[in-house]
Amino acid sequence: MKRYLSALAGAMLGLWASMAVAGSVSGMAVDESGAPLAGVHIEVVYQNVTADQLPYGGESIKETAITGEDGRYIISTDNLPPGIYSANAFQTVTNAGQEQNVDLTIDDNSTFAGNADTIRNFTASLVESSDDQPYGNAGVFVVNNAIGDFTDLSGAEVTLVNTDSGETFVKPVRQSGEGLVVTGIPFATYRASVSLNGRPLQIKLWGPDEPGEFSSEVVHDFSMGYLKNQIQVAVKP
């Protein structure tokens, strides 16, 4: 049965490819200042059939490209099945010694026909939260109550100081599925502190293997949590 379904999927893809009509997706990737970005990964992904709908969770049907030194790319859809597509882009960055993908923002997130000549441009900018990326596209700072403490932390404010550059972020927490968070912080090592109503809180790293003593600040990178993109702390008055 498994071989039959795999063969059927292959036959369907072959039929789609024979029916395909020439089209393309092209555009440019830039940074926040508008300068071209090389090495950005672009994907054009088929939307009529997703990976979950293919036998045994097959890979998405897509074509890819990488931007050149001028930040530009072009992807031919000649060999893709006719239908509806979407485009996305990401950069591979180093976070705490590990490679991590950071999504870029697209100028038009609507889907398009594969037989059209479509333009989609992308910008590498920090996203704190959006419909597509509720936790942003960078570091996530998570604030928890210390065990046995029930202080209302909804008005807490987080200060993060980059230990290399000195760049400082001061942001209020917001409620999320992860609890109270600050999002959209560039990946780096930070000196972190938390205050409530202008008064500093005691803080420590959150986790069973983290040191148990509270202090006025902690130093860590965004390498905690399931996705290795968080700093998790516990605080108390």
CB 201 within 8 A of CB 236: yes
The reply to whether the predicted model has a pTM over 0.75 is: yes
Question: What pLDDT tens digit does each residue of the chain (237 aa) get?
Answer: 444 434 444 555 555 555 555 799 999 999 999 999 999 999 999 988 655 555 444 457 899 999 999 999 999 999 898 899 999 999 999 898 889 899 999 999 999 999 999 999 999 999 899 888 899 999 999 999 999 999 999 999 999 999 999 999 999 999 999 899 999 999 999 999 999 999 999 999 998 788 779 999 999 999 999 899 999 999 999
Task: Name the residue type at position 52.
Answer: D
Burial 206-237 (b: 16+ CB within 10 A, else e): beeeeeeeeeebbebbbbbeeeebbbbbbbbe
The reported pLDDT for the residue numbered 235 is: 98
List the structure tokens of 103. 């999504």
The reported pLDDT for the residue numbered 142 is: 98
The reported pLDDT for the residue numbered 52 is: 57
Q: Give the domain 2-10+18-124 fold.
A: Immunoglobulin-like (2.60.40)
Phi, psi (rounded to 5 degrees) for 4: -65, -45
Q: Which of the 8 DSSP states describes residue 215?
A: B
Q: Which CATH number fits domain 139-236: 3.40.720, 2.60.40, 3.30.70, 3.40.50?
A: 2.60.40
* Residue 207 neighbours by CB under 8 Å, 6+ apart: 224, 232
What span, in angstroms and rounded, lies between the C-alpha atoms of 149 and 79? 60
The reported pLDDT for the residue numbered 19 is: 56
The reported pLDDT for the residue numbered 212 is: 78
Cα dihedral sign for 94, 104, 160, 199?
A: negative
